Structure 1
Amino acid sequence: MIGKLKGTIDEIGEDHVTVDVHGVGYVAFCGARTLASIGGAGEAVILFIETVVREDMIRLYGFATSAEREWFRLLQTVQGVGSKVALAVVGTLSSGDLANAVALQDKAMVARAPGVGPKVAARIVAELKDRAPAFSGPGAEASFGLKRDIGGGTASAPVADAVSALTNLGYSRDQAANAIAAAVGEAGEGADGAKLIRLGLKALSRN
């Protein structure tokens, strides 16, 4: 089984890249984000690979990061999601965007991926809500849990009020939730709404 390719880009197609590894060309199917980030023909490239073996084919899927590959695997555990849909999702949303969408139960964000309808998007965020923290990055589990509370309407009143205040100022729900999650991490869960808003705005100003 192939887990990673390190070589030179031979050609880039609409949905794949051919990587020359010591004279052998490997065709890896990639999402749009990966294809846009790896450079052009003749350039060095490293791809994290998921090898899919079926009765009638062997296919390689390539990703710019190991986190994207893990999301690709995880997405396919959702009912009705195969490799094509999973690749479309990770090709549209970054790992961070996916983690936020699941935490906030934001099916509309997932539905931005081509070929992903509202029902499939709803299944993805619902079925992965307790499983995504491991793919959100170091130290992200607490933040993920808080954002999940916000998305589920079970967050404390100061947290909910702070998120609402930031969205009223024109920030997206996702930006507001991220900022307040960071504020809670800095000030503690007992902080009042006013302090969370101040710290949330400070966090947003750094981005």
Structure 2
Amino acid sequence: MIAKLTGKLDSTGEDWVIIDVGGVGYVVFCSGRTLRALPEKGGIVSLHIETHVREDHIHLYGFQEVAERSWFLLLQTVQGVGAKVALAVLSLYGSEELTQIIAAGDKTALTRVTGVGPKVAGRVTAELKDKVAKMDLGPVAFAAEVSTSANPGGKATQAAAGDAVSALVNLGYGRADAFGAVASAARALGPEATVEALITAGLKELAA
């Protein structure tokens, strides 16, 4: 099985790239985000690879980051989500955005992805919520984008969100539910939100 490929960028298409490794060209399917991060033609590229072996084909899927590869595999554990749909999701949303979307149960965001209808979006959020809460993504990684995109004080907001999640868990709420509640609170309150404000808003979310 191929786990990683490093070589010269030969050519690219809508959802694929050809990597020349020692004179052998490998066709690798990629998300739009990975394709946009590639160097110019002839440049050296290194991708993490997931190999799919079927009766009628062998497909290689490439990822710029390990986290993206992990999401690719995780998304496909949901019924109705195959490799093509998983790549479409990853083309629209990065790892941190996806963590935030799943934790908050935001089905509407997922239906913006081509090939994802309301039923599939519902299954993705329902089936992956607990798994996302257990993933080692740092203290409330899903809140990172909300906070850091607003101002340089984003790291402080991340810390506050992490403390708020811990507080809600200590009060007896499930970790996945606490993640979702604090994510919604962080978006609503903005980068200046304190731990106390996030806990209060989070409790209101959980009681709704």
TM-score, with structure 1 as normaliser: 0.72
| CA shift digits 1:88-141 (9 cap, x unpaired) | 111110000100000000011122211111211111011000001455623348
- Secondary structure of residue in 1 paired with 2:129: coil
In the alignment, which residue of structure 2 is the partner of 1:202? none
CA deviation after TM superposition for structure 1 residue 31, in Å: 1.1
Cα distance in 2 for residues equivalent to 1:17 and 1:102: 29
1:78 to partner: Cα distance: 0.4
Kindly state the Cα deviation for residue 176 of structure 1 after the two structures are TM-superposed. Answer: 3.5
Measured in 2, the distance between the counterparts of 1:115 and 1:128 equals: 18
Is the Cα contact below 8 Å between 1:105 and 1:126 reproduced in 2?
A: yes
Give the AA of the match of 1:103.
A
From 167, 175, 180, the counterpart of 2:187: 175
Where structure 1 has 5 or more consecutive residues not aligned to the other structure, the ranges are: 164-173, 185-190, 198-207
How many aligned residue pairs are there? Answer: 173
1:112 aligns with 2:149: no
SS at match of 1:47: strand
Q: Partner residue of 1:36? A: 36
Question: Equivalent residue for 1:149?
Answer: 177
Tell me the amino acid that sits aligned with residue 48 of structure 1. H
The 1:47–1:95 alpha-carbon spacing in structure 2 relative to 1, beyond 3 Å, is same
Residue 179 of structure 1: how far off its partner (Å): 4.7
Query: What pairs with 1:1-207 in structure 2 (closer than 5 Å)?
Result: 1-133=1-133, 135=135, 137-140=137-140, 143=162, 146=165, 148-149=176-177, 163=185, 175-176=187-188, 179=191, 183-184=194-195, 191=196, 193=197
Deviation at 1:30, TM superposition (A): 0.7
How far apart in 2 are the matches of 1:195 and 1:116?
33
The match for 2:145 is none
Uncovered stretches (5+) of structure 2, i.e. residues with no partner = 142-160, 166-174, 202-208
Calculate the aligned-residue CA RMSD, in Å.
Answer: 3.2
TM-score scaled by structure 2?
0.72
Q: Secondary structure at the match of 2:36?
A: helix
SS of 1:131 mapped into structure 2: helix
Change (3 A) 1:177 1:103: farther
Amino acid at match of 1:149: D
Distance 1:133 1:7, change over 3 A: farther
Letter in 2 for 1:89: V
1:42-81, Cα deviation, whole Å (9 max, x unpaired): 1111111110001111000111101000000000100111
Q: Sequence identity, in percent? A: 49
> How many angstroms apart in 1 are the aligned matches of 2:138 and 2:46?
22
Q: Deviations over 1:9-58 (max 9, x none)?
A: 00011110001112111110011111111122111111111100011110
Given the superposition, is the C-alpha separation of residues 140 and 11 from structure 1 closer, same or farther in structure 2, using an over 3 Å criterion?
same
Alpha-carbon separation, structure 1, partners of 2:83 and 2:199? 45
CA distance in structure 2 between the aligned counterparts of 1:70 and 1:132, rounded to whole angstroms: 11
